[in-house]
Copies of this chain bind each other. A is one copy, B any other.
Amino acid sequence: MNITGLIEQIQPLDQAAMRAARGRQNQLTKPAGSLGRLEELSIQLAGIQRKPLPAIKDKAVIVMAGDHGVTAEGVSAYPQEVTPQMVLNFLAGGAAINALARHAGARVVVVDMGMTNEIDTSRFKRDLLIRRRVGAGTMNLAQGPAMRREQAEESIQSGIEVALTEISNGADILGTGDMGIGNTTPSAAIACALMKLPPEKIAGRGTGVDDDGLQRKISAIARGLAVNQPNADDGLDVLAKVGGFEIGGLAGVMIGAASKRAPVMVDGFISTAAAMIAVTLAPQCREYLIAAHRSKENGHALMLEWLGIKPLLDFDLRLGEGTGAALGISMAEAACKVLSEMATFSEAGVSQVVE
C-alpha cells in the first residue's frame, strides 16, 4: 500500500456513533455537559472508533528516535550521544516515559528511525528495539536539505507500518513520543515553513539551551529556511528539507492510525510538528488527533491553533518521549469509562431537571 492510497482510505468521523454517544452522555446521571472535556473526548472517540461506546483497553506509546545533523550548529544543551543512551534507558525501563506509560497501563514501543550509530542491544534478554533506520542521522538543515525526498517518504512509510502493526496487535489508541538530541530545531523549522512565521516566534529553549544557544538555534532555522525554500503546500518537501527521520515516522504513525480508525494522542512540540506534516499530507487525519498537552516550548500553542486541536493538559512539560501522551491516554480512557460505566437517570431512578 503506497502512502497516497492509504491517505485516500481515511474516513471522516462516524456521525451516527457520535450522536449516540452524545445522546447517552445526556442520559447519564449528571447534568448534561457537566463533565466538560471528558464528554467531548468520549464523543470524539466514539466517532473515531465508530462505536457508540468507545473503549480504550490496549494502549501503546510509540517512541521514535533519530539524530540531527543540525546539532553541529550548537542548538542543544546535550551532546548527541544522549540519543542512543536514552534509547537504551527506554529499553531498560528507566526513563520518564516508562514510568508514565506503566502508570497509564500502556506499552512503550521504541523505534530507531535513524540514529547516527546503530546501538548494541545485546545486554537485553529480548531485543525490543524496532529498527527502521532511514539513515545515520539527518544532514545539517542549516546548510541544505536534511534528507532526500525518498528518505522523507520512507520515514512516513515506516511510521505507517509501525502503526498498522501495533493496531493489528490490538492497540485501541496510539500515543506518540520522540527522542532525538536537537529535534526541537527541525520541529520549529517545520512549523515556521508551514505557518510562514519567522523562527523567533516558534523556537524555544528545548531541553534548556541558554540565550546564546537560542540565538544559534534561531539563526540555524533562518538559514535553513533561506537555503532550502521548503514548499508549504508539499508536506514531503518540508519534511525532507527541514525535518527529521523520527518526525516523519511520527507523521506516518498518525496517518496509519487514522486509516484504521484509531485515535492518536499527540505529545508535545516534536509530535505536534509531525502532526502538521501529517495534516498537510492528509487533512482528514486531523480529526483523529488529540493534543495531550500544551508544552512550555515557545510556539507550541500557535502550532496547536494552526492544527485546530485543543490541548488537554497544561503542565509545563518540555520533555517529549511521549510523557504528555501517556498522561493524556489515561484521560481518554477515563472519558470512555464515564460513557460506558455510568448509570442513566432511568436506570438509577434519579429525577431530571425541573422544566
A85–B315 Cα gap in the complex (Å)? 37
Q: Which residues of B contact A79 (CB under 8 A)?
A: 351, 354
Judge whether A38 is part of the interface by a CB distance below 8 angstroms: yes
Judge whether A100 is part of the interface by a CB distance below 8 angstroms: yes
Judge whether A316 is part of the interface by a CB distance below 8 angstroms: yes
Judge whether A86 is part of the interface by a CB distance below 8 angstroms: yes
Interface residue range, chain A? 35 or more
Q: Which residues of B contact A86 (CB under 8 A)?
A: 29, 350
Candidates B36, B317, B354; contact of A35 at CB < 8 Å? B317
Residue in A86, A96, A331 whose Cβ sees the most chain B Cβ within 10 Å:
A96
The smallest C-beta distance from A100 to any residue of chain B, in angstroms, reads 6
Q: Which residues of B contact A350 (CB under 8 A)?
A: 82, 85-86, 89
Q: What residue of chain B has the Cβ atom nearest to residue A338's Cβ? A: B99
Q: Quick one: copies of this chain in the complex?
A: 2
A354–B227 Cα gap in the complex (Å)? 29
Which residues of chain A (13-44) have a CB below 8 Å from chain B? 28-38
The smallest C-beta distance from A293 to any residue of chain B, in angstroms, reads 9
Q: What residue of chain B has the Cβ atom nearest to residue A40's Cβ? A: B316
Residue in A29, A98, A208, A337 whose Cβ sees the most chain B Cβ within 10 Å:
A29
Candidates B28, B36, B103, B343; contact of A296 at CB < 8 Å? B36
Q: Which residues of B contact A99 (CB under 8 A)?
A: 334, 337-338, 341-342
Report which A residues bind B (CB closer than 8 A).
Answer: 28-38, 77-79, 81-82, 85-86, 88-89, 92, 94-96, 98-100, 102-103, 207-208, 296, 312-319, 323, 327, 330-331, 333-334, 337-338, 341-343, 347-354
